[in-house]
Amino acid sequence: MTLFTHHLLTVILLAPLAGAILVLLVPRRREAAIRWIATLSGAAGFAVSLPLWFRYEPQGEAWQFVERAEWIPSIGAAWFLGVDGLSAMLVLLTTLMGAIAILASWGTIGERVKEYYVLLLVLQTAMIGAFVSLDALLFFVFWEVMLVPMYFLIAIWGGGRRLYSAIKFFLYTLAGSVVMLLGILALYFAAHAETGIYSFDITRFQALDLPADLQVWIFVALFCGFAVKVPMFPLHTWLPDAHTDAPTAGSVILAAVMLKMGTYGFLRFSLPMLPDASRYFVPYMAALAIVGIIYGALVALAQSDWKRLIAYSSVSHMGMAMLGMFALTPVGITGSIVHQLNHGISTGALFLLVGIVYERRHTRDISAYGGLSAVMPVFAAVFLLMTLSSIGLPALNGFIGELLVLQGVFVVSPTWAACAATGVVLGAAYMLWLYQRTMFGALDNPANRSLRDLSVREAATLVPLVALAVWIGLYPAPLLRKLDSSVGRIVLRVNSVYGPAIAKAAAECNAAAAPVQVASAPPGMLVIPPCTTDALPAGEPAEGPR
Q: How far is the CB of 542 from other proteins (least distance, A)?
A: 5
- The yes or no reply on residue 374 touching other proteins (CB under 8 A) is yes
Give the x/- contact pattern for other proteins in 463-502, rule: CB under 8 A. Answer: ------------xxx--xx--x--x---------xx-xxx
Among the listed residues 116, 99, 121, the one whose alpha carbon sits nearest the alpha carbon of residue 49: 99
- HSE of 403 in the Cβ direction (CA atoms, 13 Å)? 13
Backbone CA torsion sign across 161, 106, 239, 126: negative
Q: Contacting other proteins (CB under 8 A), which of 313, 329, 336, 342?
A: 329
Residues 6+ apart with CB under 8 A from 284: none
- The yes or no reply on residue 386 touching other proteins (CB under 8 A) is no
Residues 6+ apart with CB under 8 A from 472: 338, 341, 342, 345, 396, 397, 400, 479
- The yes or no reply on residue 155 touching other proteins (CB under 8 A) is no
Judged by beta carbon, residue 43 or residue 298, the one nearer other proteins is 298
Judged by beta carbon, residue 239 or residue 249, the one nearer other proteins is 239
User: Contacts with other proteins in 333-352 (CB under 8 A)?
Assistant: 334
User: Contacts with other proteins in 61-90 (CB under 8 A)?
Assistant: none
Backbone angles phi, psi at 67, to 5 degrees: -135, 140
Q: How far is the CB of 449 from other proteins (least distance, A)?
A: 11
Q: How far is the CB of 531 from other proteins (least distance, A)?
A: 8
Q: Contacting other proteins (CB under 8 A), which of 74, 450, 520, 533?
A: 533
Among the listed residues 429, 127, 143, the one whose alpha carbon sits nearest the alpha carbon of residue 256: 127
Among the listed residues 98, 79, 110, 88, the one whose alpha carbon sits nearest the alpha carbon of residue 39: 98
- The yes or no reply on residue 260 touching other proteins (CB under 8 A) is no
- The yes or no reply on residue 518 touching other proteins (CB under 8 A) is no
Q: Contacting other proteins (CB under 8 A), which of 62, 179, 185, 443?
A: 443
Give the x/- contact pattern for other proteins in 292-321, rule: CB under 8 A. Answer: ---x--xxxxxx------------------
CA distance 391 to 387: 6
Judged by beta carbon, residue 188 or residue 435, the one nearer other proteins is 435
Q: Tell me 529's DSSP state.
A: P
Map residue 127 onto helix, strand or coil: helix
Side chain identity at 545, as an amino acid letter?
A: P
Q: How far is the CB of 296 from other proteins (least distance, A)?
A: 9
Judged by beta carbon, residue 436 or residue 517, the one nearer other proteins is 436
- The yes or no reply on residue 446 touching other proteins (CB under 8 A) is no
Q: Contacting other proteins (CB under 8 A), which of 237, 455, 496, 510?
A: 237
Q: Which contacts of 49-55 are long-range, i.e. CB under 8 A and separated by 24 or more positions?
A: 49/12, 49/91, 49/92, 49/95, 49/128, 50/92, 51/4, 51/8, 52/8, 52/12, 52/83, 52/88, 52/91, 52/92, 53/88, 53/92, 53/482, 55/8
Q: Contacting other proteins (CB under 8 A), which of 505, 513, 521, 528?
A: 505
- The yes or no reply on residue 513 touching other proteins (CB under 8 A) is no
